[in-house]
Chains A and B, each alone.
Chain A
């Protein structure tokens, strides 16, 4: 038993690692030049190269994978020479990177050939001073300086070189002199809860992702609590009446609903309830972040769509398992010895019949996530699925990778829980 659990956990970790490698390199190899999306098609090659360097895309792929997974502040620390720490910016509420120079949080800035030291005050603002020294001479005899700039990068400036960089501002690209030669965009890495900056929103992925995960969990949770009892009930009902008209009706209807794509079901529900009857909102427009709690009718159609699609599958599984159990000798014995049928069903059959569906439901979670993506797109529901969709269309690699890893983690963890639950419930495996 203990061996089995340890084995499953190790296998899960290996799977997650494989998934992360596959995901990262698939997007890495496949996706085109992101600078085309952001800078537009008319940007010059120099502008593109400069922008890509600022995103850290000039580093080799394996290096970026490691950065993405476990962060790169430890790598940058060795270059800068001071511990790198994050501090909250009180205006945006987001984390910024600073170098901890003897207890004073510091950044640097190059202006007209002069290196300025920015010292962080307690209110989050900073004061500029002319910095003294710190320049080192490298092998080629150039004077270089490693520091943290104002855009959360660890950078290397070079005295006298005055590299020109293209900085993206709201008004477009601006050319700046005295730019750094090398950039390391600082990040803590996925495992430490920082999957990087979202390129389409310009904010950290973690900040934009969390409310969406919450919205999705609410949607999925409500749907799940409706689907499960109903599906199990219908499945058991069909299983007891195997071959009778009631079973036929339930089986064929659930097959029909399962086979109908989510978007077809969703569209039909919109047409019926949103357009013809005008009783439910056809799109989920969020006027405030807590809109689902203020106006639960927003959830009605998305939940109904998910229910229609998922209900059939679970019901069919339950039915199959129930039919099998009802065929078994011990049920026949119970019936022959004169036990009322409802007692046979409730006392003997259901417990054994539910074992298979419960594990299958756990395996089915990643199917549910697939359904969520489509349902959220249909109704414009601001959840995880819609986020993945938007990021994939934009090519926002940090966001897709983070969001996809969240879905994979959910799928794998539920599967692990399913496996463990099954082992606990089934004595034949438990004592094997």
Chain B
């Protein structure tokens, strides 16, 4: 009987469930606009994997050309096509991470891995501090306080001065600077969740500490974590752009937006557009992610009030 009633009442499929959750984005105009901007750049990134108008690193044209029919966005100070470079520049941020000493790239851009790194490290520290409390909490928070005290850029500069340039170093730098913030968030969520009855139940069952932290607390903290992660992708792209601008970001040969601004800046009196395009690209992507996360947070918290 029970089986029959289960089958007659159709369970929503996975896709429908996902769609119901995801459609919250369209409730907010801000989030929709943000998501469109982000999706535009993701699309550009995938297209650039297979096609760019010209070779992004070849100096085929006259230097510092303005926009024209062959080079839609003009050329830079070495006669490279800016549109191709802009398109290819999305890859290192969003799609691939180059491993040092080889031509192999792993999928997932520097910004994505950096955020995943800080989310994992931050979650680990935050759960331990929040759930175990006591000395764990004291020591972890003291160390995190020390990390937070570093102005971000100074920490980046120190890490890169110490370890040299490279995709992995940038990922590490983003992980270290992001983790304290995530840890604080997770800690406050864990402090709240650990007072619930189902945690008491799990403790009574005799579950291990790790089981409770990762199977009971973490899944219930994922909403705020997701929004925070989205914002962090924005920060990470912001940081990668800034590092590129300072000339210590992602190494060549792949074009990097921040570095494009930095190089074109030397010819700023002759050719302003070569500076403007990559600058607009970074700003639009970061603003898009911020709008998206902001709108999403507004929608999510609206029902909690």
Is B124 interfacial (CB-CB < 8 Å)? no
Q: Which residue of A lies closest to B234 (CB)?
A: A259
Total number of B residues with any Cβ neighbor in A under 8 Å: 47
User: Separation in Å of the B137 CB from the closest CB of chain A?
Assistant: 13
Encode B163-179 as 1/0 by CB contact (under 8 A) with A: 11000000000000000
Q: How many angstroms from the CA of A400 to the CA of B156 in the assembled complex?
A: 12
Is A155 interfacial (CB-CB < 8 Å)? no
Is B3 interfacial (CB-CB < 8 Å)? no
Knowing A27-B162, A255-B287, A275-B269, say if A408 contacts B151 (CB, 8 Å). Answer: yes
Knowing A23-B158, A29-B162, A261-B282, say if A271 contacts B152 (CB, 8 Å). Answer: no
User: Separation in Å of the A168 CB from the closest CB of chain B?
Assistant: 22
User: Separation in Å of the A306 CB from the closest CB of chain B?
Assistant: 14
User: Separation in Å of the B102 CB from the closest CB of chain A?
Assistant: 22
Q: Which residue of B lies closest to A413 (CB)?
A: B149
Q: How many angstroms from the CA of A369 to the CA of B268 in the assembled complex?
A: 26
Is A41 interfacial (CB-CB < 8 Å)? no
Is B238 interfacial (CB-CB < 8 Å)? yes
Q: Which residue of A lies closest to B150 (CB)?
A: A408
Q: Which residue of B lies closest to A258 (CB)?
A: B290
Is B43 interfacial (CB-CB < 8 Å)? no
Residues of chain B with a CB closer than 8 A to A369's CB: 151, 153-154
Q: How many angstroms from the CA of A389 to the CA of B149 in the assembled complex?
A: 18
Knowing A30-B163, A271-B275, A275-B268, say if A393 contacts B286 (CB, 8 Å). Answer: no
In the complex, the answer to whether B290 meets A408 with C-beta atoms within 8 Å is: no
CB interface residues, B 230-285, toward A, < 8 Å: 234, 238, 241-242, 245-248, 258, 261, 265, 268-269, 272, 275-276, 279-280, 282-283
Q: Which of A263, A373, A391 contacts B261 (CB 8 A)?
A: A263
Is A412 interfacial (CB-CB < 8 Å)? yes
CB interface residues, B 55-96, toward A, < 8 Å: none
Residues of chain A with a CB closer than 8 A to B280's CB: 264
Is A411 interfacial (CB-CB < 8 Å)? yes
Residues of chain B with a CB closer than 8 A to A366's CB: 148-152
In the complex, the answer to whether B149 meets A377 with C-beta atoms within 8 Å is: no
Q: How many angstroms from the CA of A270 to the CA of B276 in the assembled complex?
A: 11
Q: How many angstroms from the CA of A393 to the CA of B246 in the assembled complex?
A: 10
In the complex, the answer to whether A26 meets B282 with C-beta atoms within 8 Å is: no
In the complex, the answer to whether A392 meets B287 with C-beta atoms within 8 Å is: no
Encode B99-118 as 1/0 by CB contact (under 8 A) with A: 00000000000000000000
Residues of chain B with a CB closer than 8 A to A11's CB: 142, 145
Q: Which residue of B lies closest to A396 (CB)?
A: B161
In the complex, the answer to whether B287 meets A261 with C-beta atoms within 8 Å is: no
Q: How many angstroms from the CA of A29 to the CA of B272 in the assembled complex?
A: 42
Q: Which of A19, A255, A370 contacts B149 (CB 8 A)?
A: A19
Is A31 interfacial (CB-CB < 8 Å)? yes
Residues of chain A with a CB closer than 8 A to B265's CB: 267
Q: How many angstroms from the CA of A366 to the CA of B287 in the assembled complex?
A: 22
Residues of chain A with a CB closer than 8 A to B242's CB: 261-263, 374
In the complex, the answer to whether A264 meets B261 with C-beta atoms within 8 Å is: yes
Is B160 interfacial (CB-CB < 8 Å)? yes
Residues of chain A with a CB closer than 8 A to B247's CB: 393
Is A404 interfacial (CB-CB < 8 Å)? yes
Q: How many angstroms from the CA of A18 to the CA of B294 in the assembled complex?
A: 35
In the complex, the answer to whether B246 meets A389 with C-beta atoms within 8 Å is: yes
Is B24 interfacial (CB-CB < 8 Å)? no
User: Separation in Å of the A387 CB from the closest CB of chain B?
Assistant: 11
Is B201 interfacial (CB-CB < 8 Å)? no
Q: How many angstroms from the CA of A261 to the CA of B142 in the assembled complex?
A: 30
Q: How many angstroms from the CA of A411 to the CA of B159 in the assembled complex?
A: 19
Knowing A255-B290, A263-B261, say if A400 contacts B157 (CB, 8 Å). Answer: yes
Residues of chain B with a CB closer than 8 A to A404's CB: 150, 154, 158
In the complex, the answer to whether B142 meets A263 with C-beta atoms within 8 Å is: no
Interface centre among B146, B148, B241, B280 (most CB of A within 10 A): B146
Is A356 interfacial (CB-CB < 8 Å)? no
Residues of chain B with a CB closer than 8 A to A252's CB: 30
Knowing A255-B294, A392-B160, say if A267 contacts B279 (CB, 8 Å). Answer: yes
Q: How many angstroms from the CA of A370 to the CA of B238 in the assembled complex?
A: 12
Knowing A18-B142, A404-B158, say if A411 contacts B283 (CB, 8 Å). Answer: no
In the complex, the answer to whether B146 meets A389 with C-beta atoms within 8 Å is: no
User: Separation in Å of the A266 CB from the closest CB of chain B?
Assistant: 9
Q: How many angstroms from the CA of A27 to the CA of B241 in the assembled complex?
A: 24
Is A424 interfacial (CB-CB < 8 Å)? no
Residues of chain A with a CB closer than 8 A to B157's CB: 373, 388-389, 392, 400
Q: How many angstroms from the CA of A395 to the CA of B192 in the assembled complex?
A: 45
In the complex, the answer to whether A15 meets B146 with C-beta atoms within 8 Å is: yes
Residues of chain B with a CB closer than 8 A to A15's CB: 142, 145-146, 149
Q: Which of B148, B150, B275 contacts A267 (CB 8 A)?
A: B275
Interface centre among B154, B234, B245, B294 (most CB of A within 10 A): B154
In the complex, the answer to whether B151 meets A259 with C-beta atoms within 8 Å is: no
In the complex, the answer to whether B286 meets A271 with C-beta atoms within 8 Å is: no
Residues of chain B with a CB closer than 8 A to A385's CB: 153
Q: Which residue of A lies closest to B231 (CB)?
A: A259
In the complex, the answer to whether B246 meets A261 with C-beta atoms within 8 Å is: no
Is A367 interfacial (CB-CB < 8 Å)? yes
In the complex, the answer to whether B146 meets A27 with C-beta atoms within 8 Å is: no
User: Separation in Å of the A309 CB from the closest CB of chain B?
Assistant: 11
Is B202 interfacial (CB-CB < 8 Å)? no
In the complex, the answer to whether B153 meets A260 with C-beta atoms within 8 Å is: no
User: Separation in Å of the A362 CB from the closest CB of chain B?
Assistant: 13
Is A22 interfacial (CB-CB < 8 Å)? yes
Encode A158-199 as 1/0 by CB contact (under 8 A) with B: 000000000000000000000000000000000000000000
Q: How many angstroms from the CA of A267 to the CA of B157 in the assembled complex?
A: 21
Is A268 interfacial (CB-CB < 8 Å)? yes
Q: How many angstroms from the CA of A255 to the CA of B30 in the assembled complex?
A: 11
Residues of chain B with a CB closer than 8 A to A392's CB: 157-158, 160-161, 248
Q: How many angstroms from the CA of A14 to the CA of B139 in the assembled complex?
A: 11
Residues of chain B with a CB closer than 8 A to A275's CB: 268-269, 272
Residues of chain A with a CB closer than 8 A to B146's CB: 15, 18-19, 22
New A-B contacts (11) at CB < 8 Å, excluding given A30-B162, A369-B153, A392-B248: A15-B142, A19-B149, A31-B161, A261-B241, A261-B245, A267-B279, A370-B153, A373-B151, A404-B158, A408-B151, A412-B149
Instruction: List 11 A–B pairs whose Cβ atoms lie within 8 Å, in order of A's numbering.
Output: A22-B147, A26-B159, A30-B161, A256-B287, A259-B289, A267-B265, A268-B276, A366-B152, A367-B152, A373-B151, A389-B246
